Chains A and B, each alone.
Chain A
Amino acid sequence: MCKMNDRAFSVVNHPLVRLEAKEKITGCAVYTGDIKLPGMVYAAIIRSPYARASVTKIDISAAEAVPGYAGALLPNDVPDILYNCSGNPPSPLLLKDEKILTTEPKCAGDRILCVAAETPEACREVCGKVIVEYAPKKAFFTIADALRGDAEPLQPHLSVDNVVWKREVKEGNTDDGFERSDVVIEGCFHIPPMQHTAIEPTACVCDFSDRNELTVWSNSQTIFQERRILSELVGISENKIRVIKPAVGGGFGARQQLHSQPVAALLSRKLGRPVKIVNDREEELTSTVVRHGAVADVRLGSTKDGMMISFYADYKLNTGPYTTHGPTVLCAGARKFQYAVPNYFFDGKCVLTDNVTAGAFRGYGNMQLAFAREVMIDRLAIKLNVDPVELRLKNHVTVGGHFPGSNLTVTSCEIAECARLCLEKRREIDAAEGVTDDGEVKQAWGVSFACHGSGPSSREGLSSATVNINSDGSAELFVGSADIGQGSETMLSQIAAETLGIPLEDVAITAADTMITPYDTGTFGSSQTFICGTAVRRACIDVYETLKKLLESITDDMVSLRDKVFYVGKEKLDFRAAVRRVMFHQRGGVIIGRGVYKADACPNPFSVCMVKAEYHKNINAIRLLHLIEAVDVGTPINPLTVEGQIEGGAAQGVGYTTTEQIEINNIAKKPLSTDLLHYKIPLASDLPRIHALIAEGYEPTGPFGAKSVGELSTVPVAPAIVNAVSRASGREINKLPLCEEFLILPNIVE
């Protein structure tokens, strides 16, 4: 455990404005879509309008006649190999079933061919002239339809029954547990897919003009996985591929897989010119990836005094026609049950359908089951007539314990403090505003707990950092992890400054360029703070060790190091003086610190969310008034960005719960939600007042006591809202989004 004085930080745990804020506020930050190379052509992908079909004809003769036409990439121009687009490191869970271009589309939006032109306008015209004819086939969109005996297998080389992965996790015996329970409740929950809807569209620029070396600019979360996959697809070694991440306008998991990069790379090689592809909004919504839709059948057993003793989940994920992340998402959901039930059975399946392809999304496998679990616990609280917060606290895992089905020990947990902070804020709100119940309008609070990991739960996270020390004692920090808007560059610079004992402005960070920065598995699994942060801390510690060795090599005196001060004989040298002494000495050297962290832990951050909602009986409407979320993230490296993550995660959760859904037209058999009028993410006026709170905590395995926050914040939101709305309306709710059942009122107070 730490000593108290370990927590007196000078840079860490201080709210700091992110380093690149000014560039973004002035419009100077360069995003992928802003990049223009000499000779570059603008390309677009022609996609299948059918959920399942065979292409019977492709005719580009009219397109070729359009002024400005530059070329095309056709299905027979690409290597006939299957790949997995997921930006995870190689693993048996990554099943290969996707083609670069296909003549057998399996979902609306599947890539058929790609065309390019000299200008974006010419490219639009070229797209309009391409003729593709299809023979449509019978498609199925739901898990139930995919599992019917007569459903044609979508990926016969992987599965004959469309179940592409199974995962069982057990502890104890749930049958015995239910038998011994005084109360057993059951529920079946339908949770729809959700699209990330980053405001910046997915984009890439690929320059493979010399047909020898490939340079890619893309809004990628995982540049090293992108390089590895492209290397396999285009057949050149990784050192001939450079992937650069410019400013990224949001990720949320959507960019943890490749989208148009393989197509753009191959077209660039074919044309000998750089190629740019920027998705339009319809492509974003229907042809990238979504969060897995899910069906969760769950049973919860408890004693009459509220000890939960058995939990069973039949959990099925809809992964669309390609597995992408499906098996990993399924497995990630298996061990996030944060209550100490002795009997636990997670029975999970990942199912192929012709629905929109699913992939990585903030909350990775945890969201859907957490929703079912937390709604069930609220029903149990109502049934037992006990306080829903106390019921949860009574059953919660504690430090030294473990999650059901997991052998990892819980190393820190401030869930009770999170609950206390939420309740304090809630009392303050109610004291000011009251709780209305006048026959027409009924207000109520709902609660939910949540957890997540700090890095992939499989512990496959691997990160590294190098730190070059300049002659004046300032530092250049290089990391391969991608800042996608969450603020990791600032947070990692803070860790470096704190460890080196120098001011933040003396740290310059370069992040996410495969040619310059060292390996990192990527920005996913909320791993930046814990995994990359540990690598940065180790690199900075290595700086001091290197410096000490160099000092020893240039003196006969004894060299010691205490509290970041070197003692050479009787002489005292601070960091800066030591650096100068070493670098400019005749036998001196250069100071480069290296740090690597292969994750051997995955500490859980925790959160408590409380929502105040009101139900308007006469018009069957709901309004969300307040959302309080308190998190235990250990030490918040940058409390300002931690708050930002809570607020943003909360807002995304509000959209998920209230309005967002990819509607499939049952006659046309394709997605209807093709623009932001029909796929409705929250506006400012749609949101409750969000109150972000941070509990004091310290994670002994984390850098300066830190755990993660990025995904955690969005996990408890849907169940907290649903529990509030259920209590206000008196109705049990089993599916999302709530706009299917209620009118959703905005939240504007004049």
Chain B
Amino acid sequence: MEYKIKIFLNGKTTDFKVSENETLLDTVREKAGLKGCKRGCDSGECGACTVLLDGVPINSCSLLSVQADGRSVVTIEGLSNGAKLHPIQQAFYDAGAVQCGYCIPGMVLSAKALLDKNPSPSDGEIRKALSGNLCRCTGYTKIEAAVKLAAKRMNGVQNE
């Protein structure tokens, strides 16, 4: 059975035809061609496929596309504006938080969801917010530093 759905995807209303068992990850990657959304485990454990659904970070591998009908979805491609990086992306860049990079789109989106809700998170709150995203390269050290740096900058403190 095929369903017609509308997703407000990265700021644009987009129509999709999806099957009943199609996941949002498949729709985003294969139909919208947004390859920044990564497949890591297909079972909601690694967080590589994180997208923001109405501002909340979710594992797109574990949500049926029909459940996203009429809702807002933001992927990593929706963050930077052309050549200009989002301040969180810029902080990840400056902190050297990227190694293999496979977890990074999901990490950045989880960080965005945190900072949108809580502009000045504590170290513990950052750790909790990132604990749905697995990284095997960095030990999370520079990723946590990047989120702190982004928070400072977005709060208007430029010279940390």
Residues of A within 8 A of B (CB): 15, 17-18, 20-31, 33-34, 120-121, 196-201, 247-250, 252, 278, 280-281, 484-487, 640-641, 643-644, 647-652, 675-677, 681, 683-685, 687, 690, 692, 747-750
Contact = CB atoms under 8 A, between A and B. Distances in A.
A644 B131 contact: no
Nearest to A119: B30
A690 B135 CA distance: 15
Interface string B127-152: 11011011111111111100000000
A27 B122 contact: no
Contacts of A747: 127
B128 to A, nearest CB: 6
Contact of A250 (B30, B42, B75, B100): B100
B80 A26 contact: yes
B35 interface: yes
A199 B102 contact: yes
A120 B26 CA distance: 10
B2 interface: no
Contacts of B35: 27, 30, 34
B127 A485 contact: no
Contacts of A684: 126-127, 130-131, 133, 135, 140, 143-144
A646 to B, nearest CB: 8
A692 B93 contact: no
A648 B43 contact: no
A26 B36 contact: yes
B99 A644 contact: yes
Interface in B39-87: 39-43, 45-46, 48, 75-77, 79-80, 85
A281 B59 CA distance: 15
B128 A748 contact: yes
Given A199-B102, A647-B142, 7 more contacts: A18-B96, A120-B26, A247-B101, A250-B137, A647-B138, A687-B139, A748-B124
Contact of A280 (B42, B77, B94, B138): B42
25 contacts: A21-B92, A21-B98, A23-B101, A25-B85, A25-B105, A26-B80, A27-B34, A27-B76, A27-B77, A27-B105, A28-B36, A199-B135, A201-B39, A249-B100, A249-B101, A644-B142, A647-B142, A648-B136, A651-B139, A675-B41, A683-B131, A684-B126, A684-B143, A690-B141, A750-B125
B47 to A, nearest CB: 9
Contacts of B126: 684
B21 to A, nearest CB: 8
A199 B93 contact: no
A747 B123 CA distance: 11
Greatest chain A CB density within 10 A among B42, B128, B138, B139 is at B139
Interface of B: 19, 22, 26, 30, 34-43, 45-46, 48, 75-77, 79-80, 85, 89, 92-94, 96, 98-105, 108, 122-128, 130-131, 133-144
Nearest to B43: A675
Contacts of A21: 92-93, 96, 98, 101
Given A647-B139, A676-B41, A748-B124, A198 B93 contact: no
A750 B100 contact: no
B103 to A, nearest CB: 5
Nearest to A28: B36
A268 B89 CA distance: 39
Contacts of A22: 85, 93
A648 B41 contact: no
Contacts of A650: 139
B114 to A, nearest CB: 12
B36 to A, nearest CB: 2
Greatest chain A CB density within 10 A among B37, B101, B140 is at B101
Contacts of B46: 199, 281, 676
Contacts of B123: 749
Contacts of A690: 139, 141
A717 to B, nearest CB: 10
Given A676-B43, A684-B127, A685-B128, A25 B136 contact: no
A281 to B, nearest CB: 4
Given A27-B75, A27-B77, A15 B101 contact: no
A560 to B, nearest CB: 41
Nearest to B147: A684
A421 to B, nearest CB: 17
Given A681-B134, A685-B131, A199 B103 contact: yes
Contacts of B43: 281, 675-677
Contact of A683 (B26, B108, B134, B137): B134
A363 to B, nearest CB: 14
Contacts of A29: 101
Contacts of B142: 643-644, 647
Contact of A24 (B45, B98, B124, B128): B98
A333 B68 CA distance: 53
Closest 3 CB pairs of A and B: A27-B36, A485-B100, A24-B101
A22 B76 CA distance: 12
Contacts of B89: 25-26
Nearest to A483: B100
A119 to B, nearest CB: 9
B134 A676 contact: yes
Nearest to A30: B35
B44 to A, nearest CB: 9
B96 A641 contact: yes
A25 B108 contact: yes
Contacts of A199: 38, 40, 46, 48, 100, 102-103, 134-136
A25 B93 contact: yes
A749 B143 CA distance: 17
A563 B103 CA distance: 44
Contact of A27 (B37, B93, B133, B136): B37
Contacts of A120: 26, 30
B125 A25 contact: no
A521 B77 CA distance: 36
Greatest chain A CB density within 10 A among B37, B99, B135 is at B99
Contacts of B22: 121
A750 B39 CA distance: 31
Contacts of A20: 101
A688 to B, nearest CB: 10
Contacts of B96: 15, 17-18, 21, 640-641, 643-644
